[in-house]
Amino acid sequence: MSKSIVKQIIELESKSLEELKAIYNDIMSKPLKTHVSRDYLRPRIAYRLQELAFGGLKEEIKDKLLEVTNGDQAHKNKIVPKKLLPGTKICKKWGEITHEVEVLKDGFSYAGQKFKSLSAIAKVITGTKWNGLKFFKIS
């Protein structure tokens, strides 16, 4: 990173909200339309300064990000992580009870019921929301 960019980014810390808004409006393609804080503006300005100095993301990376976020159904419908093969048994001791989950081709089986996610099963077991992979210590 060039010293001038580093210096510009460091100097953002001492800028007033009005100064940050002016910088933002100068370097961004769309002006600010809402009330924002200094904490909101500083990282966005810093990123844009670096982007202007060194270039942004490559087009193929932008396309991949859009694909993932805007409806790549193969990605969104992936229910079972690759490392969990159908037939795998997952056991979790919660309180005094050991709970057993079976990995299916299209979801999970627990207590005689079919679930789309481990998170749903973790909620049934604990009564609160959990990331299923973390609850079952898979990720």
Full-model pTM: 0.47
pLDDT digits (tens, 9 = 90+) for 31-49: 998 899 999 999 999 999 9
Whether 130 and 94 have beta carbons less than 8 Å apart is answered as: no
Which pLDDT does position 90 carry in this prediction? Answer: 94
pLDDT digits (tens, 9 = 90+) for 3-28: 689 999 999 999 999 999 999 999 99
Enclosing H/E stretch for 26: helix 17-27
Whether 9 and 46 have beta carbons less than 8 Å apart is answered as: yes
Is 90 exceeded by the pLDDT of residue 102?
yes
